[in-house]
Structure 1
């Protein structure tokens, strides 16, 4: 538990050396412009055929897009972010039941990555991650505090799972594949992952997440109004403009029709 950033980061005035990234991979002090060309798909006010074409084009050109009017309840989005913030603000004693350094755990809280002891540089983040599908099989493993966590995140997981199935069916339609083509082999596992990035004393030297591509099929990232996501395109880093109540939808390696969306999380 003493490794958790939320346990000690507020007491340090300089960034520990173990969190300083090499010069060629740190964000540095140079400002990164927003990429205004990243497509925004309006799922409610766009004709289905047009939405299919927009999603396919965005996936092939960028590997990601922003999704608005997606049908997930706005109050639920707000409450989910709130309950996650409340969780990370809990005492170490209250978080101890889900803290683990064992990567095989189906629900665990940890710092940096699954291999903290062997990594050369640590990430400036705490992460809470747990399986969601089927909920009845995993919900008893989720945090018990805050008391509304399980109800709130459970409903959020159900709504996002339904949205995921809808987007994948639209992709299947655009590719001329039958509904449900991806099947349970790719969509049967659903993970909820919450990153906590405490204020960093030297954000130009550290990262919340390094440059990477998602290994899974599809990711729904609730960025809301908190900027930090950057995408690597044509040899430069570009910021992803936060849109209130929007999801950033990222296609992973398992979606072989997509452009590899290399991205990272910067700090403030």
Structure 2
């Protein structure tokens, strides 16, 4: 083994690099993906506020009472979607539900609109189905957001008082999500933390994901850019699953029914025309 000469001098001690103590603002910056414009330094990211992070009780309160959450004065159009995905014997069912136009503030009402979609291929990847449901919600949002009035939500005194305590305790979480100057808002609630994490961490330059998930994330990326260019503020929010939250409960029911019916009918073995008949029967019920 060759002998290397020893250094002639002696190195002094290496400087100690002291790590700056993280602050709550640092934590929030790590948790939030919020882009100010498509031309920002993060244009390769999905252009939306994602991964709503707050104590569990605040997140549950926010999701449960969102229909009464006061809109900013600059907002004249808001639509809120609840999505869910379900798997039965490799059959994926996706559901999207939202309030009909003009009924957004009536949390106890029954005016729900629904959209149910069959995941197109057999899969065991529930995350892909959850993302597929989010994609469908974004497509629907582009169709209807201009019709969704937010007038009933604008700074009602009772609503402001109701949220006052929560805003005091969790203002750094609850208000950042509202910090924008656009006139249209789209909120998409999902109970899939995996989906939110994937959306938050996705970068179009390095889309390293399982192929089915990657396909949906790329769609979400492009749709988010389209929405931003259309003047729409987009947020993805977490909603506790299997809870009393009406939107989440209905989306869960519809997705479960769809995937069960798909598995019973052997959906993926049906002919194209039989699949169309099946879809029509679902939408016609």
- Tell me if both proteins adopt one fold, taking TM over 0.5 as the criterion: no
Kindly name which structure, 1 or 2, has the bigger radius of gyration based on alpha carbons. Answer: 2
TM-score normalised by structure 2 residue count: 0.25
Structure in which a larger fraction of residues adopt strand: 1
